[in-house]
Amino acid sequence: MTKERLTSVKVDSKTVEKVTHVSGEQWIKEGLAVVVVGASGDLAKKKTYPSLLSLFSGNLLPSNVVIYGYARSKISNAQLRDKLRPYLDGKAKSDAVEDFLSRCYYQAGSSYGDLKSWSALNDQITHYEDQLKVTKGIDKSNRLFYFAIPPNVFAETGAAIKSACMSPNGFSRMIVEKPFGKDLESCKDILHRLGQYFDEKSLYRIDHYLGKELVQNLMVCRFSNLWMEQMFNRNFVQCIMLTFKEPFGTEGRGGYFDQYGIIRDIIQNHLLQVMCLLCMECPNKLDGPDSGEKIRNEKVRVLEAMPAVTIDEVFLGQYEGYTDDETITNKESNCPTFAIIRCFVNNPRWAGVPIIFKAGKALNERKAEMRVQFKPAPAAETLFGGIEVPRNELVMKLQPGESLYLKSNIKTPGFCSTP
């Protein structure tokens, strides 16, 4: 992006008219450059940019925000916008989409650690920040780097940013998306390398599944409804099931997926995070400063109470035609695309309650849900003539069509008294 092009960015064309919960915070009044690292990839176009559009259209970003993409693909600003538009249309009003796209720029690099390219991007961001100072009198500008890239390039990316692209007068924050390596050792290695360049206040590890509305609702549902919290324990719950199903296969992502498999890709992060929120004890603070650390601590206690999974508690499978994906080099791969895992949380609340994870690709439907199945009503079969009475279930559906409902029994219609 040339300086001449950058001057066409209308840094003062949009003012925050809607008062939001961030309107009074200092950073919303400062400059902000968001850098999406891996901007040409699948995650960026399907998740990251639509999420940024949602924040932008909801007045939850500074009015002068600009968004830079960095990746190895050789594309122009216009080509990036054309690539993003199909994933943004319909997510906001058309004028908001176009305004958002006009703020999206692109910088290509030979690698994610290419210092020359990062220096060129730094020059572009610096020019934008200088424009803010001249036109708006904004002296402080922040930079946010979102890593939509494989974990094996986290470290070289962080080193290049630290060397060539840090904000001179505001914060510089790194957001790294799962997975954090293939196993414990690779995770520790990645976090150690990033820790050499950034302290904990500048480093954010996230799982985008936690941004889903119903997942964010879990704590409110559990701890603000008397009946729900009273029944969430081993005395009432028979089992908990967490399910993730996709009706399609790897679709060109096989090269990535084959390194991780369905357990690391879905169960070990997305579903496990949801399970922790579903099973944790109530923190003594759920909102405001310090609440994040308190919630995290309760989630960790759940994980600490889980015994190691044995092979007898795991069922694995692979859909037919998996290795037909051209990006999979190992045609003899036994990488699982389907898994069922049974776990337990050995604490006073959940001891003995099976927690079942089920996830797979190329299945019969698209679905992600949490299902809490309660114990049978006492003596129900005796009371109703020996028939099997269905158990009550609390179902929290994440996708598609977010919903929460309780399955309860009523009598069969007509001249009948059975459930």
DSSP state of 64: T
Residue 130's CB is within 10 A of a number of other CB atoms, namely 13
Q: Indicate if 208 belongs to the active site.
A: no
- Asked if 92 contacts 61 with a C-beta cutoff of 8 angstroms, the reply is no
| Separation CA 237–CA 240 (nearest Å) | 8
| Separation CA 379–CA 375 (nearest Å) | 11
Take residue 271 and report the two structure tokens written for it. Answer: 């579903």
* The Cα angle at residue 83 between residues 256 and 150, in degrees rounded to 5: 25
Which residues have CB under 8 Å from 77's CB, separation 6+?
A: 1, 5, 104, 105, 106
Helices (H), 333-373: none
| Separation CA 258–CA 250 (nearest Å) | 9
Q: Which amino acid is at 244?
A: F
DSSP characters for 118-176? HHHHHHHHHHHHHHHHHHH----EEEEEEE-S-GGGHHHHHHHHHHH---SSS-EEEEE
**69 sits in which H/E element:** strand 66-71
Burial of 233 (0-12, 13-18, 19+ CB in 10 A): middle
Q: Which of 127, 192, 208, 270 is catalytic?
A: 270
Residue 379's CB is within 10 A of a number of other CB atoms, namely 9
Which residues have CB under 8 Å from 316's CB, separation 6+?
A: 336, 338, 339
DSSP state of 264: I
What percent helix, strand, coil does the chain show, rounded to 5?
40, 20, 40
Q: Which residues are catalytic?
A: 270
